[in-house]
Structure 1
């Protein structure tokens, strides 16, 4: 217990270790992975108090109060509905013990210190997160444009004089077409699974 107090006092408990894939089943975060839905861990940083688990679907943060407490709060941030931004990496200086990766999810900032010997692995995570940010931003733009196109088409149809045909049937067809357009756009431009991105940058 004294070692844990000393580590907290020195700030050493905040320096995370990157956990090998063979040990994923030994961490707390594994209990909260949706294995049944194909969720898989691709990168995991563990400190004395916290775990930062990056899966193909989300960041799962197991938030601990202190190194000597077993109390944990589990927070889940699905990539498709939580915006990643301000992703940076800070390498270690000559006398530093750690390097650092920083990023924001919505308005919440994460600053994760990692053993400086793991800098090459941390660079891989940095690249994966940057790519996720780029993809989600591009898809968000395309989804907005898709909605604008549908609105323009709808207004154009509404301005045309209907001379023949059943008005109710015409309205039904327009409504069904609009629904299918929106559904197809959401399926195409809302990416939930980033397995391919993580595989491209991270070797487990």
Structure 2
């Protein structure tokens, strides 16, 4: 019991190791990467129980019940469906042997401990996740602005004095245009692949 308390106090309970690219294929997470669709691993942290695999398309979490169990649960979080937010990097104190990176993906909170000597590599992941978070927040605003702009255009048309028959025809054309415009806006600002961000910040 005292060993466990000491381990928790020092951050030794489940400290992760950043895996080098040459060893990605030796991990469980690599088996679940969609290589056939151009998915690529950029960063991978392995603890005694879990693996956290950051690809250009998603976070793949190989979730182990505990360090001694062979049972694993695969959880996949595509960035296009799960927004990253609240990215925090905590550096080590004098007695700590680990550093921490924390973030939310949708409503799920992650808190990953990593060996203190790998802080420089973890900083790269921090920068990449921060930038992805910023891009997602910016794009969400643009999509909202586009939707509001279309709503205003429809409102103006409905309040116009165009003859009823002409109004119906024009409204139909506007509906078709609006759908195409919003679809194009969504495709432009709803990013699925963040490979360029990882390429910029991750120094493998």
TM-score normalized with structure 2 length: 0.90
Structure 2: which 5+ runs fail to align?
A: none
Residue of structure 1 equivalent to 2:34: 34
Task: State how far apart, in whole Å, the 2-side matches of 1:166 and 1:113 are.
Answer: 64
Q: What is the root-mean-square deviation of aligned Cα atoms in Å?
A: 2.0
Residue of structure 1 equivalent to 2:79: 79
Equivalent residue of 1:87, what SS? Answer: strand
Structure 1: which 5+ runs fail to align?
A: 1-5
Residue of structure 2 equivalent to 1:90: 90
The 3 A distance-change label for structure 1 pair 166 and 155 is closer
Residue of structure 1 equivalent to 2:179: 179
The 3 A distance-change label for structure 1 pair 150 and 67 is same
Contact 1:13 1:49 in 2 (8 A): no
Task: State how far apart, in whole Å, the 2-side matches of 1:183 and 1:14 are.
Answer: 44
Contact 2:157 2:171 in 1 (8 A): no
Task: State how far apart, in whole Å, the 2-side matches of 1:134 and 1:16 are.
Answer: 26
Task: State how far apart, in whole Å, the 1-side matches of 2:164 and 2:90 are.
Answer: 68
Residue of structure 2 equivalent to 1:58: 58
User: How does 1:28-177 map onto structure 2 within 5 Å?
Assistant: 28-163=28-163, 169-177=169-177
Aligned-pair CA distance for 1:202: 0.4
The count of aligned residue pairs is: 198
Aligned-pair CA distance for 1:35: 1.3
Task: State how far apart, in whole Å, the 2-side matches of 1:165 and 1:107 are.
Answer: 48
Aligned-pair CA distance for 1:10: 4.3
Equivalent residue of 1:92, what SS? Answer: coil
Contact 1:13 1:67 in 2 (8 A): no
